[in-house]
Structure 1
């Protein structure tokens, strides 16, 4: 366990060492004056914790963070922040995490599977009160009923490696998203009837 955690951290840290300076150079300046105090935890530490959570047997991130990160793995993350602060830091690493996932080596096998799933933002009855995703999230119907949120489209190869993913509005037809996602793939793509 220790070796996989350390090797995962090293890979993520090397990636962040290359990405973050380039990313910060192209960001627009914020006109609002804010304190730009660096976090106690580095971006690579936060990403490592989030990715390593999926290798654990925990289904609840809060229990994982409190029992594993703040408990048995505290020697690996001595500057770990409180759970509430960690949750506040999570959105700041979303884009680097997406870049990291997209940059991972993928094996072109010629056999791919595509599917989409819903990503609920809130309960359908509270959709009019939602301010965070107002104008972005949409109301739509899936096989499970009505929902308010987004759709996530994923293509994996026959070994389970993530080849492509895309997030779209809930009202987007699956067939519209597929050609752009699969333009660099050669072989056969297998999907449900929504992609016909």
Structure 2
């Protein structure tokens, strides 16, 4: 069960992980993309950490809306709109609640990513991590989803330009999503 405090801890830990792994995320993106994913995500993370200190959200909706606004306004590339929309849909789903189940929020995030990115499962995108976790959320499912995504050929986004060379390479959006859900497992899931 998510609470406001646990959600803020989750988002802060996600931000810390993005900042810590900035170079690795950018390297993944350099191999099959344009090389800016880590820097873009770390910029959003720094902004979100400051915003969470300044605002002290009172509801889950407020916490996720703060994340959405920071991602949309500060993270470049496709990641800003995709994560921003996912967080905004999570904010709408949670509304004024101070407690909420994890599964429906992940499902709301999936719907936002699909709507914004026009992607489907199997295209080697962040969705290939999010969708399995929307159905079953645990560490084993996260590891399997991430490994499965890595072994796919990209057919959507910038990574699709490298064709078969994308097979076996880590998708940057899947990698940052893995950090998001690792933080969730640490801070939220009992």
TM range (shorter): under 0.3
Q: Which has the higher helix share?
A: 2
Q: Which has the higher strand share?
A: 1
Indicate the structure whose relative CO is greater, using CA pairs within 8 Å and at least 6 residues apart: 2
Instruction: Output the TM-score relative to the length of structure 1.
Output: 0.27
Give the number of the structure whose alpha-carbon radius of gyration is greater: 1
